[in-house]
Amino acid sequence: MSHGSTADLNQMLTFARVVARGSFSVAARELHVPPSTLSRQVASLERRIGLRLLERTTRKLRLTEAGALYYERCSQIARDVEDADSTVRALSLTPRGTLRLSAPPVLGEMFLGPPLAEYVKLYRDMKVELSLNSRRVDLVQEGFDLAMRVAVALDDSSLMARRLGVSTRLLCASPQYVRDHGTPASLAELPAHPTISIGSGHEPWRFLDAKGEVIEVKVEPRVEVNSSALVLELCLAGAGLALIPSFLAATRVAEGSLVQVLPEIRTRPLEVLLLFPSSRQLAPKVRAFLDVVDRHIARQKPWS
C-alpha cells in the first residue's frame, strides 16, 4: 500500500471515529492526540473527495447528506479492520477454558475419542465436556461450542458447518430375516415388510432413482427408536428391514452378518457435519479442535 493510500485510509478511519463519538475532542482523547490533528485530517479528507462531510458548529457536528453515505461505508471499513486485527491476534492465542461439544451417541463413541485425546494433549489448559445425546441441541441457548450431526443438508442459517465427509444409508436385513421372510423385489414391495425406523415413523423413506429424483416410500415401522446403534442391533437380530448409515453397516455387510437389500437402489447422501454458531471470528479453542478433527479425518477416512 502506498503512502498516499495509507493516509487516505487513516483519514477515513478518523472520520468514522469522530462521527461515532459525536465530537473531535472525545475522539482525540481516545487516540491521545490534539483535536486539531483530527480536524486537519477530516478537512484533508473533504478536500480529497471534493465534498463537505460535516457541518461544524460550536455545539455539535452534523453529517451532510454526502457525509451520511460516506460514514456508512467508512464505519464498515473500520469494523473490517478491527475484525482483521482480531482474527490475526486470535491465531496466536493458546486455547484455554472449556470446550462444550454435543454429538449423537454412535458418532461420538465411534469417531470422537482419538481427536479429543489429541486435543487435550496438545492444549493442557483446555477442558472438554462431551454430551452424547440423540436430540438436536440448541447450540446458542444451551451454551455448546460445537455439535456433530448427520443430515441431508444444513437447515439452520444461524449456524456454520465444517463438512467432515459424506455417508450413505444401506437398506439392510439379517441373513435370518432373509431366510424367513425373503426380501422385496422392488421398492413397491417394501411396505409389506416389517421395518425399523429411527425417529418418527410418519416420515417416508426416501430413495433416489436412476436420474437422481427422490422416490418416497411410506412404511409403517414395527419398531421406532431414537438411536442408530439400536436400529443396527435390532436389524442384526432379525426384527425387520432398516436404513442404516454406511459407516455402521458396511463392515457388517462385508462380514456377512447383514445383507444389503436392493443394492442397486441409492439413498440420498448424508453430510457428516460439525456445527458451530455463526461468527466472523472463531474462538481459538473451536478453531484448534476443528483443525485436530480435520487431521484425523484425513488420516482415517472413516466415511469412505
AA letter at 80: D
**Please, which residues have CB within 8 angstroms of residue 238's CB and are 6 or more apart in sequence?**
173, 174, 176, 177, 180
Write the pLDDT tens digit of every residue in 137-191: 888 889 999 999 988 777 777 788 888 888 899 999 999 999 999 999 999 999 9
Report residue 252 as a C-alpha cell. 457388517
Please check whether the two domains, 97-167+270-300 and 169-267, share a CATH topology.
Answer: yes
Model pTM above 0.95: no
CATH fold, domain 97-167+270-300, is D-Maltodextrin-Binding Protein; domain 2 (3.40.190)
CATH fold, domain 169-267, is D-Maltodextrin-Binding Protein; domain 2 (3.40.190)
The answer to whether 105 and 132 are in contact (CB under 8 A) is: yes
CA neighbours closer than 13 Å in the CB half-sphere of residue 285: 19
**Please, which residues have CB within 8 angstroms of residue 185's CB and are 6 or more apart in sequence?**
none
How high is the pLDDT of residue 2? 44
Q: CA–CA separation, 12 vs 162, rounded Å? A: 36
218-239: average pLDDT: 93
CATH number for the region 9-91 comes to: 1.10.10.10
CA neighbours closer than 13 Å in the CB half-sphere of residue 116: 19
Length of the chain: 304
247-257: average pLDDT: 94
Q: Where are the domains of the chain?
A: 9-91, 97-167+270-300, 169-267
